[in-house]
Structure 1
């Protein structure tokens, strides 16, 4: 088939030959071969430009394609006394694709060659033939082939004005020669490139990336960590120990200035062999952000808004919807106050989370998102609160927080109180969830200073509050709200059921953490009885006494709620599928593909993903069909140091985390936080990619 296509291209190109250019269109690209001169002289050099224009939405590759793709192939035929230099490429762009990183162009790009003619060349013309092969990709990749011929007169040199624009465009996309010295250290697990800039120069840049021409410098899909140090700008990236170390390295350094300008420099760093220091061991870092703060804040806001769609927040969304229906009878000013009271409850909760994180981090603890649900006392307290709220909604007793009497005794004061409490509750039940955009923002914030961490978490809270806050300002929606009436009592009772389901889920988490599930149910029942009994009392003194007993007993129970001791491996049902770094290394050394998932009983997103995607017959068949070994890491009892290390490596603040290690030994593919069967197929088998 390839020969047939080649013959077709050859016939096509012969029909369109000119003296100084040749062109044709393939299935998904058009190509133009141009000489920079209409006629040339012996003893002088000139350029030939090979320009590829991909079809819209498709892309071609740089001389190092990265994780996938193919390098262009050029085979020249020229007369004796004529030579053609190696190809010179324009600066590439990063093209990430399903966990891989490739380098190339989504626009027309030119490869430039230099032709040298010896001074004793006597022929009247210079015939040049080229057999070229290149790859163009979108969702699929299609090889392209072409045969080209030029026949350039040999006489007085005359520039080809038609090629001037092509040459000029190539020059604008060419990297400059770096005026900085640079050095590169490569070891078995990572590489560090140091560009010897001054502190003033480093502060001019906000982003940096190195495109190596040689394989083996680092794992292409691994993120390049950038930090400014006293000795210069340092780029760190991980590499697999299966890669061969290159004997020399050249490449292109991309820099983004504070003004948003893009600069490219050609580097040929000196190779060195010392051990690469960890970033945590580097002293006096210079201010430089590879992840801009504004982007982290935007991701945090959008991620917070998306949290409203997650299953863990659905019960509280029901409460918010009910409160908003009730607000139809309120004035515009009162609706605004309720919206801001709800927002204040969320922001106050996120501020409290930030304070706790900062305090614990200052004590040396490394924590991730949802850390509080690893503490059984907190989980037990949440079970109590949600159960009491459910019983209040069901009408068993009436806790005067404001929202349960909506539509009947709802006033400005009680409504604001209820909205504030609902905001606090929304925050508490949202913390087990992660959503797209949120993970990189929180992962970034947890590595920054206390002020940046606090601002990012507050922006996440503002995103969570934004839908209800906007609704509270919508006069059109308020005018369409139904009138309050007896029907609202039935709705209120119906909302108790999702609250009960949430309490039951958290109770199972508590049971797994402590082994005291029966004790928890007995305790919650007793507390509910005391509060019901208090509601039956008319004497203020007796009511205060029963409330005091309830609080004291609750404090005692939470005080004795401790994590159960770790079980011995022999007591566990199975250890063959338990994740450890060593287990992954051993399996990969045997050439086996590995799928790893990090989960916890308190992570509702994890549990939904398991039901929707992982624990399905179709998924199990796919794992068996591809001989994939599945490893699980259960974080219910808290993140281990090894887990925190993996989360930091992949820029995640919490779980779920899904990693697929292909059998070819390449770097792990990081899957999204929310997965489906189709997403699993896409990342593992390439179906639908």
Structure 2
């Protein structure tokens, strides 16, 4: 799907509606609350794929929260999405300051196409757990070859050469990304992670130890941010490698009934999920999906009961 979006943004193909339908849509009256509601619902539907990476954590939190919190959060999301329309309605003069249509829109479209291509390659890198070795590389190579041929037919050989150079750079980036993830260049992580299980938590608590739970997935962008911005920090690494700390990790990159059950018992439906147990936190303390160094260190200290 993202490959098709990329080709469309780069102008390799267009989807045109019948003239009768476009005329009807342009002349049809959409006044009234029902018409405005339909327009807003359709705009939300179109924006969902783009906003999901940013709102996924918030929506997951809302679905596990109380009803007032759920309604309040979705109300804020709706107000945020309608903010441009509300501002123009309050100050109509802002509409005159908006840029006029022109050739700049084509340049923006090409830039968005390049970003969509990068997103497509990133999604392919996540398929390495589902495909044979280097399968994602083969698919990426085929897609890039099709893209270069289409550019040559649509824009000429010069554009094809530029696309080939961009594809080569993107392919090398994907290769090094896959190499990093498959262990050729492992990140610096000295934590002795153990498989996540309810029994492991009970055993550690019986020994008066602190338990740090990390449920993550390769396709989770927030999980990656937590890892590189917090969990790989020197002081956090030192705290989690202490002899009195047991680090448990659950990998949800592939469907796992046990991890799904683990999350549901704690009222969560998404990753990242982090929880800290200890002598002073026998029932566990759930951390914010977006970790901070201070929150992790404070949670470990409070769970142990240290001053």
Contact 1:434–1:605 (8 Å) recurs in 2: no
| Higher Rg of the two aligned structures | 1
SS in 1 for 2:247: strand
State the match for 1:592 in structure 2: 209
Matched with 1:480 is: 97
Which of 58, 63, 68 is residue 442 of structure 1 equivalent to?
Answer: 63
Partner of 1:518: 137
1:470 to 78, 83, 86: 83
Inter-partner Cα distance in structure 2 for 1:423 and 1:504? 26
How big is each residue's C-alpha offset from its partner over 1:615-640, in whole Å with a ceiling of 9 and x where there is no partner?
22231022235742211111011142
Q: Secondary structure at the match of 2:215?
A: strand
Q: Distance in 2 between matches of 1:514 and 1:521?
A: 13
The residue that corresponds to 1:70 in the other structure is: none
Q: Show the counterpart of 2:290.
A: 674
Cα deviation digits, residues 87-139 of structure 1 (max 9, x gap) = xxxxxxxxxxxxxxxxxxxxxxxxxxxxxxxxxxxxxxxxxxxxxxxxxxxxx
**Contact 1:591–1:665 (CA<8 Å) still a contact in 2?**
no
* Mapped partners of 2:122, 2:99: distance in 1: 33
Q: Does 1:505 align with 2:122?
A: yes
Inter-CA distance 501–528: structure 2 relative to 1 (3 Å threshold)? closer
What is the distance in 1 between the residues matched to 2:255 and 2:16?
Answer: 33
For residue 583 of structure 1, the aligned residue among 200, 210, 228 is: 200
SS of structure 2 residue aligned to 1:669: strand
Q: 1:625 to 1:479 in 2, by over 3 A?
A: farther
Map 1:166-205 to 2 at 5 A: none
The partner residue of 2:266 within 631, 650, 660 is 650
Distance 1:465-1:512 versus aligned 2 partners, 3 A rule: farther
Cα drift, residue 664 of structure 1: 4.8
Larger RCO of the pair (alpha carbons < 8 Å, separation 6+): 2
Q: Does 2:14 align with 1:399? A: yes
Between the two proteins, the alignment pairs up a number of residues equal to 239
How far 1:601 moved relative to its partner? Answer: 1.4
User: In proportion to residue count, which structure has more helix?
Assistant: 2
Bigger strand share? 1
Q: Which residue pairs with 1:616 in the alignment?
A: 233
d(CA) in 2 for partners of 1:668, 1:651: 13
**CA separation of 1:611 and 1:520: change in aligned 2, threshold 3 A:** same
Compare 671-680 and 581-590 and name the one that shifted more: 581-590
1:606 and 2:219 correspond: no
Counterpart for residue 661 of structure 1: 277
- Would you say the 8 A contact 2:60–2:268 is kept in 1? yes
The RMSD of aligned alpha carbons is: 3.9
1:626 & 1:466 partners in 2: Cα distance?
Answer: 49
Separation (CA, whole Å) in 1 of partners of 2:153 and 2:80? 37
Structure-2 separation of matches of 1:511 and 1:613:
25
Map 1:296-375 to 2 at 5 A: none
1:470 is paired with a residue of what secondary structure? Answer: helix
The TM-score with structure 1 as length reference comes to 0.30
1:321 match: none
Offset of 1:668 from its aligned partner? Answer: 0.9
For structure 1, the residue ranges without an aligned partner over 5 or more in a row are: 1-384, 403-411, 414-418, 446-451, 537-573
Look up the SS of the partner of 1:668 in the other structure: strand
The CA deviation string for residues 232-272 of structure 1, in whole angstroms up to 9 with x for no partner, is xxxxxxxxxxxxxxxxxxxxxxxxxxxxxxxxxxxxxxxxx
